[in-house]
Amino acid sequence: MQKLIENLYDKYHKLSNGHLASYIPELAKVNPDYFAITIATTDGKIYTVGDSTTKFSLQSSSKPFTYGYALETYGRDFIRTKVGVEPTGKAFNSIVELEKKTHRPYNPMINSGAITITSLVPGKNEQERFSKILGLFNNLSGSTLNFDQQIYESESKTAHRNKSIAHLLRHFNIIDEKIDESLELYFKQCSIMATSVDLAWIGATIANSGVNPLTKTRAISDEYISDIVSLMFTCGMYDSSGEWAYSVGIPAKSGVSGCIVGVIPGVMGISVYSPLIDMKGHSVRGVQVIKDLSKELGLSIFETRNKL
């Protein structure tokens, strides 16, 4: 496994296609050469190569897990009234895409759905609500994580598009009147910093039914793991989810900072970090690496020749 990821690192570290996510100004300052690949297994093994100790903001790779937290807090029936489970075939920051009759966002992986989910995290103020989110990510990763003030502020100051999405959601009564507080909470969630190793453990915890393979702490109830993983699969790569299912076949979620987390249920979590992203917001090297890994190890859920 170690040799395999080292070979993939060598194969792709010169690939320099793509761009930095400049719509969040702070993300455009990141070193575009960073590159890390990590695999964490459900039986507690870790394989990593490259900039494994470099921290990056989780951005949208955080979305599936807060969704799990909301499911656990409110139950499936209530959450389903707020956010649907259908892919949109549209960009992650699409403004107009709400379901026709219900006005629910289509799914929790796009911004409208993720803002709705974060708006539901309970607590008497922003601080208390954020400490719940951070606690979740600490339990998932088995590390002590924190958010980056500069990345958070950089997004908050320039987030006209997400703000307009939130106001539309308020208009349709999908989120409550604490629009600003919930938005800030969402930006903080997106600016939680983690390493490739942390993110692979997060994936491995999901793969391990919600229990961190190292700390043995339960981060999320096993009842909601398939909700999380199925939505990563159908919606996690936004408007390239179909292409991803076809050519990779692994439930995954990307973030515009250049990270991708993949989950092989029962087996392992995969994480790749490389900040140059494509037009749909996915790490260019990350897509290639996970595609190759899937082929090499037969990891696609549709593959009958699994080699593990």
**What are 308's two structure tokens?**
């593990």
- Shortest Cβ 177–ligand GLN spacing (Å): 21
Pick the closer one to ligand GLN by CB: 190 or 261: 190
Catalytic residue of the set 256, 261, 263, 284: 256
Catalytic residue of the set 52, 60, 141, 300: 60
Pick the closer one to ligand GLN by CB: 5 or 145: 145
- Shortest Cβ 69–ligand GLN spacing (Å): 17
**What are 302's two structure tokens?**
């549709």
How far from the centroid of its chain's Cα atoms is residue 11's Cα? Answer: 25
Q: What is the DSSP string of 26-50?
A: GGGGS-TT--EEEEEETTS-EEEEE
Q: Identify the H or E element spanning 283.
A: none
Pick the closer one to ligand GLN by CB: 60 or 88: 60
Q: Is 267 noted as a catalytic residue in this protein?
A: no
Pick the closer one to ligand GLN by CB: 162 or 271: 162
Residue nearest to ligand GLN (CB): 60
Catalytic residue of the set 67, 238, 248, 263: 238
Answer for the pair 275, 257: CB distance below 8 angstroms, yes or no: yes
Catalytic residue of the set 67, 69, 186, 224: 186
Using DSSP's 3-state secondary structure scheme, residue 138 falls into: helix
Q: Is 63 noted as a catalytic residue in this protein?
A: yes
Pick the closer one to ligand GLN by CB: 43 or 180: 180
- Shortest Cβ 257–ligand GLN spacing (Å): 7
Q: Which residues contact ligand GLN (rule: CB under 6 A)?
A: 59-60, 92-93, 111, 155, 162, 190, 255-256, 281
- Shortest Cβ 129–ligand GLN spacing (Å): 17
Pick the closer one to ligand GLN by CB: 212 or 240: 240
- Shortest Cβ 241–ligand GLN spacing (Å): 13
**What are 292's two structure tokens?**
């190759």
Q: Is 60 noted as a catalytic residue in this protein?
A: yes
**What are 88's two structure tokens?**
């949109």
Catalytic residue of the set 57, 61, 63, 271: 63
Output b/e per residue, 243-257; b: 16+ Cβ within 10 A.
ebbeebbbbbbbbbb
Q: How many C-beta atoms surround the C-beta of residue 54 within 10 A?
A: 16
How many angstroms separate the CA atoms of 104 and 175, rounded?
A: 10
Q: What is the DSSP string of 184-227?
A: HHHHHHHTEEE-HHHHHHHHHHHHTTTB-TTT--B-S-GGGHHH
- Shortest Cβ 155–ligand GLN spacing (Å): 6
Using DSSP's 3-state secondary structure scheme, residue 17 falls into: coil
Residue 218 is classified by DSSP as B
Q: Is 186 noted as a catalytic residue in this protein?
A: yes
Query: Angle 280-179-261 (CA atoms, 0-180°, nearest 5)?
Result: 35
Catalytic residues: 60, 63, 186, 238, 256
